[in-house]
Amino acid sequence: MSNTETMTVIYFTDGALIDDLHIRKSLLRIPEIIKCLRDNQKEFLNCDLFIAMMDQKVFNYLNYHQKFRLKSLIQAALFERWSRQGIEPDLIIRRRDYVDFSQLAATFVKLATLEEIQVVTIGPGFDDLESFLRIQLKVRSCLLHDMISQDPKLNWFWEGVKADIHLHS
């Protein structure tokens, strides 16, 4: 790549926003999420994934591993939807692959010295990486995208969801 190109980095957040009931209910508007939940229901014994998405008590009954798996499935479905746009990412980074934020930040510092980067989060939403990129690396907001906000068939409802939970993306 030459220095004039933009590197597209897919960044999988830790999925913390999926813990929010309003977010989970909103995610059920996305066909890929619904299909993913149906296809993987058999993995979750004694729990209906659709009820867990709609009821905080049921979600709270999921153990750590079940919650982690559910978040991974949701993010995989979001990434599948993004991939159908035909854009090939140059790099995929997952928050869970880093012990702490300083390691993740160091990776992005190195990337920013090589190329101009465009970051697309598979979250939903952003995490503390967004403020780091905006403040420390001076990445312009037009190069930071939440996958759902970027999707023209999903952004109609996502802006309202973000406003309700005061996302900073």
- Residue 157, classed as helix, strand or coil, is helix
pTM of the model: 0.87
CA atoms of 20 and 124, how far apart (whole Å): 11
Measured CA to CA, the distance from residue 8 to residue 83 in angstroms comes to 12
What pLDDT tens digit does each residue of the chain (169 aa) get? 444 578 899 999 999 989 999 999 999 999 999 999 999 999 998 899 999 999 999 999 999 999 999 999 999 999 999 999 888 999 999 999 999 999 999 999 998 887 788 899 998 888 888 888 888 888 776 688 888 888 888 877 777 776 666 543 3
Nearest-angstrom CA–CA distance, 54 and 38: 15
Q: What is the pLDDT of residue 142?
A: 67
CA nearest to 151, candidates 107, 121, 115: 121
3-state secondary structure of 79: helix
Give pLDDT, residue 43.
95
The answer to whether the CB of 116 falls within 8 A of the CB of 143 is yes
Residue type, 22: H
**Domains along the sequence of the chain with CATH:** 6-165 (3.40.366)
